[in-house]
Amino acid sequence: MATFKRIDHAVIATEDLADAAAKWERNLGLRVEGGISRPPGSGFEVARLPVGDAFLELVQPVEDKGRFAEQFRERGEGFFSISIEVDDLDGAVAHLRGKGARVTDPEAGIWPDSRVARVSQSSAHGVSIQLIERR
């Protein structure tokens, strides 16, 4: 069975990435690591704030299409999703499906050497969960 290793990151959606990053630093002392980036094909810009061995990702849509933009229009700013690192993505997907959870097929992630699958919010009490395997 696949092992759920740790919380990898949590995503906070924002309309103004620079303002959000400044507030998180000023109010909570969390600093952006590596600047603001735009992962190819993602449709958003992201700032990563390290918290222990995990990250908070502040994310702002920069395109009107795509999964993130659609969900941002529906839900607005605030908590968006949580990502859990697994040691075997295929095994984790099979395990969760065997328990009746709705999970997408694994696909390449936006970060180098990563693969992801998404657990349906209907299977996770309304929470958007991403499973991530880092190679």
User: What own/partner pairs with CB < 8 Å and gap ≥ 24 does 115-123 have?
Assistant: 115/89, 116/83, 116/89, 117/89, 117/92, 117/93, 123/96
Who's near 108: CB < 8 A, 6+ residues apart? 114, 115, 116
pLDDT in tens, 68-105: 888 888 889 999 999 999 999 999 999 999 999 999 99
Please determine, for residue 1, whether its predicted confidence score (pLDDT) is greater than 70: no
Alpha-carbon distance of 65 to 126, in angstroms, equals 22
The radius of gyration computed from the CA coordinates of the chain, to the nearest angstrom, equals: 15
pLDDT at res. 68: 82
Total-model pTM: 0.88
Q: Does domain 4-134 have CATH number 3.10.180.10?
A: yes
Q: 25-34: per-residue pLDDT in tens?
A: 999 999 999 9
Percent of the chain topping pLDDT 90: 80
* 96 C-beta neighbours (distance < 10 Å), count: 21
